[in-house]
Structure 1
Amino acid sequence: MKRLRFLLVLGGMLFLIGCRQDAEPDALTIGVSINAMRSPFMIGLAQGIRDRADELGIRLIVSECNGDGLVQTNQMMDFLIQDVDVVLVEPLDTEAVVPVIEEIDAAGIPIFCIDTSANTDLVKCWIGSDSLEMGRLAARYIAEALKERYGEYRGKVVDLMASLTTTSGANRTRGFTEELEQYPDIEIVARQNGNLQLDKAQDVMIDILQANPNIDAVWCSGDTNAQGALQAMRRSDRLLAAGEEGHIILVSADGAPESLKAIRNGYLDACISQNPIGMGRVAIDMIVDYWENGRLPEKTFYPYPLFTVTADNIDSEEFQEYGVWAEEIR
């Protein structure tokens, strides 16, 4: 058996996860670095990584940086002295991690990315959702909903962004903006960063609602932003269910339990779901295939499929087949 070790660095805290008690002493060790396991999405991502590693007898060293880019780069530097075989990282900042990736690569340790990537060609491959397409799907959904409401493509919308220092956040906003350019009478009246933090998203959305009394729709680049937006609407007496006059069309991303509940309750119109559990499992398989066989996907970016969840398909067999990860996290 070849020696495989992965170091998982998550949000500033370093620890081992998913290690089988009967794993061989020279088992592959993977160093994994992700942001923080405080959101359902990140819990699902770590769960998928851990479960697949456990099935294969792989040793993981995991750390969390909790939103601190400097902590993440310092943790990744530790990989160089922890004798890892491979690094799997979810970059908090596409540029800040490049110098440490260069050092890790120079030491002969292959680097893979998950969810987000880094601005360097030293990354062997990264698996994540097509965030450009997520933004486009959200824009199309909102455009069609506005046409159904007004009989034409017009309205006032808000872009409640994720951080633009990540590939996913930047691309979700880019895809949304570019797609809406096809609808000149749909106006983006506000664009603010909720940073996928509940309190910040709520505060930002309250300010937006006060400044814009006639908002038709909001694109939230993540479920936490959506929950913040819903709280802001409730506090501002603007929270109305679909079908009620004055309802603000709300589209989110990721597919967390809170979003599925909000869809069932009529307050969230659609969610562009990812599947972090499936993504984590595929990342481990990808790394193992490279380690043992030298194989990589044909393209550096491996896009994991998306699924647009609505009230019409939330209980469908199609969604079940895709994977309702919100019901699988533990």
Structure 2
Amino acid sequence: MKKGTLILVSLLLVLMTGCSLEPPEWAKPNKSGNLEDMKLGLSISTLNNPFFVSLKDGVVAEAKKQGMEVIVIDAQNDSAKQSNDVEDLMQQGVNALLINPTDSSAISTVVQTANSLGIPVITLDRSAEKGKVEALVASDNVKGGTLAAEYIVEQLGKGAKVIELEGVPGASATRERGKGFHAISDTQLDVIAKQSADFDRTKGLTVMENLLQGNPGVQAVFAHNDEMALGAIEAIQSSGKKIAVIGFDGNIDALNSIQAGKLTATVAQQPELIGQLSVQAAKDVLQGKTVEKLIPAPLKLVVKE
């Protein structure tokens, strides 16, 4: 009986050790203080979106400039996968984590784990609801939503009938862009329908097709990102209607669509700059400097010239 108990205790100890997120000695972060020895872990919500590809490129370019190594992982818009990815990055001994959350709530647990291990966290474009984040590098999403609503009022007048295509539920960018938009639209526009299309172009097409059938009087669409806006344009063109569409991000496909006279406007961000600023923030934190909790990247409304 005693022998059996000893075996059970031994197995439990092995399991506990295996489940620990403490990286092995060979993978623990280098504490030399030299940037050349520093390793950053970058978790991107999805690389199936040109905006986040540009954001990643900004991180990689700036890290190379600073002489820092970057490990990039694509969460593929799966919050569970992203949490596992970030745990893997911690196991690889990164000095700092740069996280572009798929879901601001779901990522909180691994942010808190990083906190317990002393690994600083910088978030990009979207925040984490819980845990200590050294800095959020992002555009002013609330202001961007407001810019979109003001433009629709300016172009179509008060009371214009609008459909809103929302982003991923739970993402801070979805909440903030919606908040800014509704600060104007609730009193000056008529939002006749709104539905999530998960920041995805194909879903933007499908959702828009369905919403057009039930809302024939729609005059404009505000999409929380360009990918959904571009999908919505395909649905609108197939219907033969003429409806203004305003996106958000300013990715290359959206800018080309504006010049081609298809997409009406986009609230343009600077994803590469967001990436660059996040690396600079990580560098400052690793060197013991204080950084601002919110590091803004400028945005502007882009229309056809």
- The normalised TM-score by structure 2 is 0.86
Q: Please provide the CA RMSD for this pair.
A: 1.5
| Paired position in structure 1 for 2:197 | 194
Tell me the SS of whatever aligns to 2:54. Answer: helix
Q: 2:87 aligns with which of 73, 77, 91?
A: 77
2:300 matches 1:307: yes
- State how far apart, in whole Å, the 1-side matches of 2:250 and 2:233 are: 15
| Paired position in structure 2 for 1:318 | none
Deviations 1:171-190 (A, max 9, x none): 1112111221231xx21011
Where is the helix percentage greater, Structure 1 or Structure 2?
Answer: 2
Structure 1, unaligned stretches of length 5 or more?
1-23, 148-152, 239-246, 313-330
Q: Structure 1 215/109 Cα, relative in aligned 2: closer, same or farther at 3 Å?
A: same
| Paired position in structure 1 for 2:183 | 178
| Paired position in structure 2 for 1:243 | none
2:253 matches 1:261: no
Partner amino acid, structure 1, of 2:51: F
| Paired position in structure 1 for 2:160 | 155
Which 4+ residue blocks in structure 1 deviate beyond 3 angstroms? none
- State how far apart, in whole Å, the 2-side matches of 1:100 and 1:54 are: 26
Deviations 1:189-247 (A, max 9, x none): 11011112122111110111111111111001111101110110122122xxxxxxxx3
Match runs of 1:232-251 below 5 Å: 232-238=235-241, 247-251=242-246
- State how far apart, in whole Å, the 2-side matches of 1:275 and 1:25 are: 26
Match runs of 1:274-313 below 5 Å: 274-297=269-292, 300-312=293-305
Match runs of 1:85-234 below 5 Å: 85-147=95-157, 153-183=158-188, 186-234=189-237
Tell me the SS of whatever aligns to 2:287. Answer: helix
Q: 1:55 aligns with which of 56, 60, 65?
A: 65
In the TM superposition, residue 295 of structure 1 has moved relative to its aligned partner by 2.1
Match runs of 1:18-33 below 5 Å: 27-33=37-43
| Paired position in structure 1 for 2:18 | none
- State how far apart, in whole Å, the 1-side matches of 2:256 and 2:299 are: 19
Q: Is the 8 A contact 1:33 1:72 kept in 2?
A: yes
Q: Is the 8 A contact 1:132 1:172 kept in 2?
A: yes
- State how far apart, in whole Å, the 1-side matches of 2:216 and 2:98 are: 45
Deviations 1:90-137 (A, max 9, x none): 111111111111111111111110111101250011101111111111
Partner amino acid, structure 2, of 1:161: E
Q: How many residues align?
A: 272
In the TM superposition, residue 80 of structure 1 has moved relative to its aligned partner by 2.8
Q: Is the 8 A contact 1:163 1:170 kept in 2?
A: no
In the TM superposition, residue 26 of structure 1 has moved relative to its aligned partner by 6.0
| Paired position in structure 2 for 1:272 | 267
Structure 2, unaligned stretches of length 5 or more?
1-33
Q: Structure 1 293/104 Cα, relative in aligned 2: closer, same or farther at 3 Å?
A: closer
In the TM superposition, residue 301 of structure 1 has moved relative to its aligned partner by 1.7
Tell me the SS of whatever aligns to 2:104. Answer: coil
Q: Indicate the percent of aligned positions where both proteins have the same amino acid.
A: 29
In the TM superposition, residue 89 of structure 1 has moved relative to its aligned partner by 0.4
In the TM superposition, residue 311 of structure 1 has moved relative to its aligned partner by 1.4
| Paired position in structure 1 for 2:11 | none
Partner amino acid, structure 2, of 1:187: D
- State how far apart, in whole Å, the 2-side matches of 1:26 and 1:206 are: 51
Tell me the SS of whatever aligns to 2:290. Answer: coil
Tell me the SS of whatever aligns to 1:123. Answer: coil
